[in-house]
C-alpha cells in the first residue's frame, strides 16, 4: 500500500510541476555557432515557446567537437525541463556511429519534438554533360571513379546522403571532403569538382544565379524551396531514395513526461503559425512536429539508418578534409 501511495504522490507531484512549468527562464543549448541552420531554427521556435509559455527561452551557443560539447552539456544537466537541446542529425544520429561520444543519444536525452526537416539537392557544375538526373547517373555509371563529389566533411550529413545516393544509383565516384559546405560548393561552381549533394538552403542562391545545375532533391515528397524540382527517387530512377536532415528539441534525461509533452504541444502550435512556416520555408526548412514518443521511434530509425550507410561505405573519420 505504501508503494502505491508513493507512486500516486509522485505522479501528482510531476503533474503539479508540469502545470507550473515554466516558472523561470529556460536555457536552450545550441551545440553550433550562431547563424547555422540548427541555431536559426531553434531561435524561431524558442521565440514562440516564450510567447506561449510566458517565460524567456534563452539561446546559449555552445559549439565544438561537431556538436558533441553542447549535446553532452544537456545530457548531464538536471532533468527538470529548464535545460533544452537544439538537437540535429549530426551529433544525435550520425556521430555516435562514427566515434565514441560522451553521451548515448538514445538514453541520455528526453526527446521532445522534431521541428523541421531539411531536404538536400543534387547539383553539378554547370557544364556537366547531363541534362537530367537519369542522364547524370548513366554518365557517371559508365565511367567508374572518373568523377568526383564533394562534401562538407567526412561523416557529415551531406557525405552520408551522397554515399547513399551513389550506392542506390549504382555509381562509383571519388569523395573529396572539405571543411564546410561553402568551399565544397565553391569548387563545384569552379568546375574542380563534378557534383555534390547539399542542403537546398545552401545551393539555392547558386542554382537561381545559374552557377549550379540542379538535377533533383532528396526527399521523395519534393522540396518547398524548389517546387518544380523532381525527387531523385523518380528523376534518377532509384525507388526508396528518401532522406534528409532533421532539427528538433530534446531535454535532459529524467525530465517529466508532462513537461516534454507540454513543450511538444507548444511546438506543434508554433509550426502551424503562418509566420513561422513562412520563415522556415524561406530557409529551405520543412516545418513539422512530433510527440515525444514519435520522436523516440524516429531517432532509433535515423541512428540505425545512418549506421547502415556508414558501415556499407566503410566510412572512417580518419579521412583528411580539405
Range of the domain at 297: 24-117+244-311
- At residue 119, the 3 state secondary structure works out as strand
Where does a domain end: 225, 243, 261? Answer: 243
* Closest CA relative to residue 159, chosen from 236, 225, 213, 98: 98
Among 201, 220, 243, the domain boundary falls at 243
User: Which domain-ending residue is among 219, 243, 267?
Assistant: 243
- Note whether 82 and 143 are same-domain residues: no
- 320 found inside a domain: no
User: Quick one: 236 and 186 in the same domain?
Assistant: yes
Comparing CA positions, the residue from 40, 106, 102, 41 lying closest to residue 67 is: 102
**Angle 157-169/133-141 helices, nearest 10 degrees?**
80
Q: Are strands 83-88 and 26-30 parallel, antiparallel or unpaired?
A: parallel
Per the domain annotation, does 147 fall within a domain? yes
Residues 128 and 146 in one domain: yes
3-state secondary structure of 172: coil
Q: Could you tell me if residue 12 is inside a domain?
A: no
| CATH number of residue 52's parent domain | 3.40.190.150
**What is the CATH number for 236?**
3.40.190.10
Low-confidence ranges of the chain (pLDDT < 70): 1-18, 318-322
235 and 127 part of one domain = yes
Closest CA to 249 of 262, 236, 235: 262
Q: Specify whether 156 is located in the same domain as 226.
A: yes
Q: Among 98, 92, 57, 64, which Cα is nearest to 250's? A: 92
User: How far apart (Å, rounded) are the C-alpha atoms in residues 123 and 218?
Assistant: 11
Verify that 232 and 122 share a domain, yes or no: yes
Q: Is 245 helix (H, G, I), strand (E, B) or coil?
A: strand
Query: Same structural domain for residues 210 and 146?
Result: yes
Nearest to 244 by CA among 216, 267, 272: 216
For residue 320, the model assigns a pLDDT of 54
Tell me, yes or no, whether 7 lies in a domain.
Answer: no
CB 248 within 8 A of CB 237: no
Are both 93 and 126 inside the same structural domain? no
- Is residue 151 located within the same domain as residue 259? no
Are 98 and 108 members of one domain? yes
pLDDT in tens, 199-221: 999 999 999 999 999 999 999 99
Phi, psi of 266 (to 5 degrees): -65, -35
Examine the domain organization and report whether 108 and 53 are in the same domain. yes
| 319 part of a folded domain | no
| Residue 10: inside a domain | no
Residues 111 and 124 occupy one common structural domain: no
Q: pLDDT by residue (tens digit) across 33-55? A: 999 999 999 999 999 999 999 99
Residue 322 lies in a domain: no
Cis before 43? omega within 30: no
User: What torsion, rounded to 10 degrees, do the Cα atoms 101, 295, 277, 51 define?
Assistant: -90
Q: Is residue 318 part of a domain?
A: no
pLDDT of residue 12: 45
Number of structural domains in the chain: 2
Helix, strand, coil shares, percent, the chain, to 5 = 45, 20, 35
pLDDT of res. 317: 78
Element (H, E) at 82: none
Amino acid at each position: 500500500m505504501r508503494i502505491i501511495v508513493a507512486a500516486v504522490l509522485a505522479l501528482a507531484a510531476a503533474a503539479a510541476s508540469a502545470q507550473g512549468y515554466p516558472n523561470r527562464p529556460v536555457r536552450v543549448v545550441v551545440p553550433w555557432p550562431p547563424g547555422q541552420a540548427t541555431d536559426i531554427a531553434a531561435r524561431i521556435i524558442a521565440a514562440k515557446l516564450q510567447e506561449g509559455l510566458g517565460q524567456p527561452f534563452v539561446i546559449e551557443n555552445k559549439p565544438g567537437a561537431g556538436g558533441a560539447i553542447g549535446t553532452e552539456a544537456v545530457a548531464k544537466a538536471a532533468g527538470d525541463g529548464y535545460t533544452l537541446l537544439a538537437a540535429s542529425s549530426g551529433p544525435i544520429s550520425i556521430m555516435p556511429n562514427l566515434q565514441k561520444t560522451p553521451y548515448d543519444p538514445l538514453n541520455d536525452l528526453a526527446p521532445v519534438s522534431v521541428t523541421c526537416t531539411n531536404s538536400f539537392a543534387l547539383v553539378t557544375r554547370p557544364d556537366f554533360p547531363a541534362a537530367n538526373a537519369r542522364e547524370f547517373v548513366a554518365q557517371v555509371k559508365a565511367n567508374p571513379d572518373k568523377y568526383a563529389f564533394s562534401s562538407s566533411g567526412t561523416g557529415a550529413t551531406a557525405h552520408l546522403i551522397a554515399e547513399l545516393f551513389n550506392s542506390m544509383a549504382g555509381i562509383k565516384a571519388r569523395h573529396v571532403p572539405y571543411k564546410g559546405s561553402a568551399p565544397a560548393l565553391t569548387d563545384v561552381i569552379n568546375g574542380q569538382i563534378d557534383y555534390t549533394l547539399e542542403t537546398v538552403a545552401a545551393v539555392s542562391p547558386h542554382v537561381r544565379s545559374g552557377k549550379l545545375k540542379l538535377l533533383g532533391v532528396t526527399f521523395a515528397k519534393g522540396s518547398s524551396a524548389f517546387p518544380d524540382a523532381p525527387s531523385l527517387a523518380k528523376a534518377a530512377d532509384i525507388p526508396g531514395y528518401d532522406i534528409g536532415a532533421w532539427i528538433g528539441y530534446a531535454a535532459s534525461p529524467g525530465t517529466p513526461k508532462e513537461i516534454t509533452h507540454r513543450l511538444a504541444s507548444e511546438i506543434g502550435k508554433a509550426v502551424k503559425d503562418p509566420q513561422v512556416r513562412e520563415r522556415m520555408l524561406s530557409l529551405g526548412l520543412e516545418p513539422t512536429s512530433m510527440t515525444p514518443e514519435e520522436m523516440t521511434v524516429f531517432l532509433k530509425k535515423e541512428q540505425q539508418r545512418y549506421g547502415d550507410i556508414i558501415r556499407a561505405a566503410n566510412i572512417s573519420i580518419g579521412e583528411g578534409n580539405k
